[in-house]
Amino acid sequence: MHLTLVGLSHHTAPIDVRDQAVLTKTLQEKALSFVRSSSGILEAVLLSTCNRSEMYATTDEEHTDPRPIEAWFHEIHGLDEGVLSPYLYHRKDEAVIRHLFRVVSSLDSLVVGEQQILGQVREAYMQSLNTKTTGVVLNRLFEKALAVGKQVRETTEIGAGAVSVSSVAVELARKIFKDLRQHTAMLIGAGETGERTAEYLVDQGVKRLIVANRTYERAADLAHRYDGIAVSLHDGLQMISDVDIIISSTGATEPVLGRERMADLMHDRRNRPIFLIDIAAPRDIDPRVRDLYNVILYDMDDLQSVVDDNAESRKVEARKVEGIVESEVDRFLAWYQNLAITPTITQLRHFADDLRHQEVDRALAQLGHLSEKDRETVDKMSRAIVNKLLHQPTVQLKNTADPEHKDYHLYSLRHLFGLDEQGNDRNGTGNE
């Protein structure tokens, strides 16, 4: 039995190729039923995220060639044979284990340390469990992978510190205010980063979002999207004394908020803390407002420097995570390699037992005068010989630590006893 992986990700494929290879839920179900009906593939799990489409499978000895899976990858998406081939990667056995453990630890992600992948792997595994396309090996592999993913997040700082400008801004807001549900935010102007920050704030349950824009229609459109209130820019600036978080990203050339104005506003607010996020270029807010009591201002450079610091510390943590992954791969391998031995030993035992039965039956047929007790003794003796004969090789095989030696022994055993020949494979490499 062998572990096989065929897939593509942001490391190998550009976005338009990845879009073509997405395994949607309906496709996944189809795919899993295809896998079940195809010969040679014993188990399969499909993992699909926005950045990767992968198939984890176990195959029997005769079907280790990944090409059928590759062909299936094309077929399922209605693509011509070979279109995806330059972007697909193949892994086998140990490399599959390592790959999955790295994926689930987010080491293979576009943003190292991201959280979602753990849930996505769990979902992929659950779906395969439901469609009953997993068995001993993949069950164990995915259970272990999920445990590794959890351990990595609990024992390292791989996911600590936001690594995008908008999420840093929201993380700061959460460290400034006790409970965002009691605070109102205002988005002034438009722009991708500003909008995303506003969106995150709404996700975090901010009490109210006010959208102010020079053109009211634009404000109304954004407000509608994020369940906020639209106002004109002029009205928005009048409302600041009631707002605790301001995201400013207008295209104005002159500062929208000067120091004098801010000082007056702080007086009106009775010095309640305010968090100003200025992501406009040129800047919307006079940097001198920093001197005012309880005014916290972060501009684009400030946010970017936090992003850089966090990315740097994630890199340091990633090295720790690699260490954890390696030791878990070793532990899993120890189990996995023994698994290959188990079916061989079972097969060998059946082979020996069949011979014993034949010979005992033949002998007893000629020894009709024996009593029931004597017949039992003969049967017992034959069992004892088989057991004693097979005991030592079995133990030796199990105890061989070096994987290469193990493979060699396995090969010799199967070859010398003819275990792979016709008529001897009825207890072959099936699932246990």
Residues that bind other proteins (CB under 8 A): 154-155, 157, 160-161, 168, 171-172, 174-179, 269-273, 290, 293-294, 296, 298, 302, 305-306, 309, 313
Minimum CB distance to other proteins, residue 241 (Å):
12
Q: Considering only CA atoms, which of 247, 254, 250 is closest in space to residue 226?
A: 247
Residues in the chain: 432
* C-alpha span between 420 and 204 (Å, rounded): 61
DSSP string, 338-388: HHHHHHHHHHHHHHHHHHHHHHHHHHHHH-TT--HHHHHHHHHHHHHHHHH
In whole angstroms, how far apart are CA 49 and each of 89, 129, 162, 167, 321?
16, 18, 21, 21, 22
Sheet strands side by side (includes 52-59)? 41-48, 52-59, 2-9, 89-92
Structure tokens, 385: 């010989």
Q: What burial letters (b/e) apply to 367-378, b meaning 16+ CB within 10 Å?
A: eeeeeeeeeeee
Minimum CB distance to other proteins, residue 261 (Å):
18
Closer to other proteins by Cβ: residue 302 or 353: 302
DSSP-based three-state secondary structure for 257 = strand
50 labelled catalytic: yes
How many CA within 13 A on the CB side of residue 101? 27
Find the catalytic residue in 11, 30, 33, 50.
50
10 Å Cβ neighbour count for 93?
19
Closer to other proteins by Cβ: residue 138 or 306: 306
Let me know: does 170 contact 204? Beta carbons within 8 Å: yes
Let me know: does 284 contact 188? Beta carbons within 8 Å: yes
Catalytic residue positions, numbered? 50
